Amino acid sequence: MNVTEVARKIKVTTSELLEVLPEFGFDFGKRAIKIDDKVARKILAIGLKIKEKIEADKKTKLQELEELGEVAEAEIKKVEIPAVITVRDFAKIIAKPVNEVIKALMKNGILSSLNEKIDFDTASIIADDFGIKISLAEEVVRGELAGEKIKQILEKEDKKFLKARPPVVVVMGHVDHGKTKLLDTIRKTNVVAGEAGGITQHIGAYQVKKKGHLITFIDTPGHEAFTAMRSRGAKAADLAILVVAANDSVKPQTLEAIKIIQQAKIPFIVAINKIDLPEANIEKVKKDLSSLNLIPEDWGGKTICVPISAKENIGLDELMETIILLSEMEKDKILANPNSEAVGTIIESHIDKGEGPVATVLIQNGSLKLNDKLCIDDIYYGKARALKDYTNKDIEFAGPSTPVKIIGLKMPPKVGDILEVKGEIARKHKKFNVHEVLKGESLASRLIMPKEKEEEGVKKLNIIIRADVLGSLEVIAESIEKIESKEVKAVIIGKGLGNITDNDIDLATTSNALIIGFHVKASSLAEELARDKKVEIKYYNVIYKLLGDIKEKLSALLEPEIIKKEIGKAEVKVIFKTEERGMILGCKVLQGKVSKDLKADVYRKKEFITTGEIAEVQVGKEKVTEVVEGQECGLKFLGKQEIKVGDVLNLYQEEKIIKKI
């Protein structure tokens, strides 16, 4: 085991651990990297004592420095952080360069990118390395959500420069209710055929023109696994379309979408889809909506409902006209300054084999131009070497409400990040390069340390995830972590972008992990290693199939539940013989029946004595299959020879109930 891993489990720094270990009888020197597993377990067994000793020594040293008036400013600096924080936010709070924080994490055995999260315990160890004391702050919602930050930027703009921009519409609803088909029909292009399982795998944005009006659509995946994506989509939108199937009405994801729309405080239209089907029931949909306090307009309420058939192109003109009408009503809010430096929300991000890190950004204020310097949270991410619109055509600039693909980034940003054009900051950070910090370690490969607290009696399934884009990777990890069971747990020990590598196989071998590839494959070397080391790799292109298989694997780890089915009771009247493995008994059946192979719990005046099994049943000298209530019989009991006359045998069958998650 790595010394850094032992130190992390004890929640101290590696140098502190190596310094104090000789006092506990373990001396490996101050440059030790690995220690024997058995020795590591012994150290962890006294981990609390080691930590208490280190803290006591630090306190004594601090008191001595205070007495001498030599306390350094860094040693008394204290900051508060939340329970979970991204690496870059942590670096900002402790006022240290991000590359130094990443190096400190690497020294402690953790490979993390700017956007990956670390827990409070990890952060406290790293902060100690910098001589900074941190404490746990109350959880606060960071004001970096797209809607809030864009609102703040617009409030600073001079109103005379604000102009109308195309409305951004988000399409939401339950899986299979026809969201993608609706957009497909609107755009007159076939994206459905290219989507595995009929489900949109990543957020996409498209623009259409209707009666001289340009409208931007954000297409959000419909399955429940995509909660986080749908939530981000709503926060970046001006209007929403809630698609509800006329043959299926309101479903769980419909309710979830309604909640997200209401939280985002944006107006919405209910598109009642699939009205061409014989089983379509528009009135039932309206009734179900009314029960949620969403009263349709024709019922005297304010909820706009438009019956449509995306498949047969029925009612789509009316829907588009309603969108235009609603956006006209909201025109005072749908404004931007096209002449400002661009700012927008990242709605997709991935690493392309030919283009490197690329991202799709929805411009929400200003205009993005070729060669603009791009920053996220004041970190330089590169410049726009190429811009492509939603049809993949090269463009020279993108104005407000335009979705645009950016090529030229140094690293893939996180979905939901706010991208800004900032020339000054870019010049200051020009030399920063995360690839140099990681010394050639691929950004696609990230090691996640398991949580410190081991839950007793919980069986674990270790998983390594590889995906093609950050959006999918994040959603898969979040969905797996939500699978709940008191007996088993899926633990993500590694995740990353790009194809499965030999490093993933090595990690899976040492941790007995399953490797999952989503829209990616294994390299030829990785496949060969996987065969040699018997590492299981599973490939997927549909997320809910992936989650279903994970649940099956976890269910297989569950211990079956044993249920006792009572069959009968018998009283011991005489003991004929005591044998090496049991006893021959004369009994009377008090209730139910007695038969061969039943289990028996022996009770003496309601006190449990022992348990055993009925191997044979006789009436007279004949062997029989069963004896019913009121009859007397001879029984061959296999078990401890502790039965006495007058004892009662409770006879039962054991049934195994296979558990599922």
Domains of the chain: 3-136 (no CATH), 166-333 (3.40.50.300), 343-435 (2.40.30.10), 446-557 (3.40.50.10050), 561-657 (2.40.30.10)
d(CA 437, CA 118): 18
* Residue 532 Cα distances to 512, 535, 563, 581, angstroms: 14, 8, 42, 48
What tokens appear for 140 in the block?
A: 């606060």
Mean pLDDT, rounded, for 40-62: 82
More confident: 272 or 526:
272
At 438-482, the pLDDT tens digits run 333 333 333 444 443 445 568 889 999 998 877 788 788 888 988
Task: Give me the residues paired with residue 617 across strands.
Answer: 635
Question: What pTM did the predictor assign?
Answer: 0.52
More confident: 223 or 54:
54
More confident: 625 or 441:
625
How confident is residue 595, by pLDDT bands cut at 50, 70 and 90? very high
At 379-394, the pLDDT tens digits run 888 889 999 988 888 9
Per DSSP, 345 falls in state E
Nearest to 464 by CA among 527, 506, 430: 506
Segment of 96-105, 107-116, 131-140, 184-193 carrying the highest mean pLDDT: 96-105
Asked whether the predicted pLDDT for residue 348 surpasses 70, the reply is: yes
Asked whether the predicted pLDDT for residue 607 surpasses 80, the reply is: yes
The long-range contacts involving 183-190, CB below 8 angstroms and separated by at least 24 positions, are: 183/217, 183/219, 184/310, 185/310, 185/311, 185/313, 185/316, 186/217, 186/316, 186/320
Residue 435 pLDDT: 37
At 87-125, the pLDDT tens digits run 888 888 888 888 888 888 877 667 677 777 776 767 877
Task: Give me the residues paired with residue 448 across strands.
Answer: none
Mean pLDDT, rounded, for 177-200: 63
Mean pLDDT, rounded, for 273-278: 95
Mean pLDDT, rounded, for 534-553: 91
End-to-end CA distance of the chain: 33
Mean pLDDT, rounded, for 359-364: 90
At 202-228, the pLDDT tens digits run 546 788 888 888 999 886 654 444 444
> CA torsion angle for 465, 470, 475, 481 (degrees, to 10)?
40
The answer to whether 375 and 359 have CB atoms below 8 angstroms apart is no
d(CA 352, CA 346): 16
Nearest to 258 by CA among 287, 308, 267, 307: 267
Residue 455 pLDDT: 54
Residues 6+ apart with CB under 8 A from 498: 351, 442, 444, 466, 468, 520
**Tally of residues, the chain:** 661
How confident is residue 524, by pLDDT bands cut at 50, 70 and 90? confident
Mean pLDDT, rounded, for 424-447: 39
Residue 233 pLDDT: 57
Phi/psi at 121 (nearest 5 deg)?
-60, -45
Residue 441 pLDDT: 34
